[in-house]
Homo-oligomer: A and B are copies of this chain.
Amino acid sequence: MQEAACNVNSCFLCSFCIPAWKEAIALHKKTYQFKKGEDIFREGDPVKGIYFIYTGSVKVYKQWGEQKQLILRFAKAGDILGHRGLGGVVEYPIGATALEDSKACFISNDFLEATLKTNHELTYKLMHFYATELQKAEMRMRDLAHMEVKGRVAEALLELRNIFGVNHDQHIAATITRQDIASYAGTTYETVFKFFNELAEEKIITTNGKSIKINDSDRLQQFSKKQS
């Protein structure tokens, strides 16, 4: 990883902080560059601090055995990374890998913890942020437990469009493999592949090599509904 310039205003952390602190953080942060596929940190690595994605996108995952992983979330410019390591935990409970070439600001735990002690507005906001993340996680837990595979893949597609948006020709603006979609939906590559074919035949989605376009959100959403 390589150092690079960082616009402090783009950081999640900065976006709601008192101006005085913006100057402080500007002195303490470092910015790193990650190549596509490069690990930002791995599960089990010692926690050193917290990252803010400046450009690019990242997957956050948990490993299961050698081969399988569950992608917990996708993070893009402006998002926090590594905040799961807060609070006395010595090892990251999750791993993060760049999906495309990305830049990330790094703030050491020491500085962050010290800041949280004095900047209460930040602590409060961060608490709310965690609360929201927790809700999302629990929603997804339920989906993984009870929703069937097709529903989860459909959800994953809608979620991806939500997070990354679409580019000029309406394709989801994400650099993402079918394998990653499978890992996000908690299923296998083949299942995703076959379901995509099915969706393409029904013209619900269009796949163009790597990228995906959603033509009919409503019908896609039907798969997420509980069957009677």
Which residues does A use to contact B, with CB under 8 Å?
62, 64-65, 68, 70, 72, 83-84, 86-89, 93-94, 116-117, 120, 123-124, 126-128, 130-135, 137-142, 144-147, 186, 226, 228
Contact = CB atoms under 8 A, between A and B. Distances in A.
A133 to B, nearest CB: 6
A135 B70 contact: no
Contacts of A65: 146, 226, 228
* Stoichiometry, copies per complex: 2
> Majority SS of interface residues in chain A?
helix
Contacts of A70: 141-142, 145-146
A74 to B, nearest CB: 14
Given A120-B123, A123-B120, A131-B83, A62 B93 contact: no
9 closest A-B pairs by beta carbon, nearest first, are A145-B186, A130-B130, A87-B128, A137-B137, A65-B226, A64-B146, A127-B127, A62-B142, A70-B142
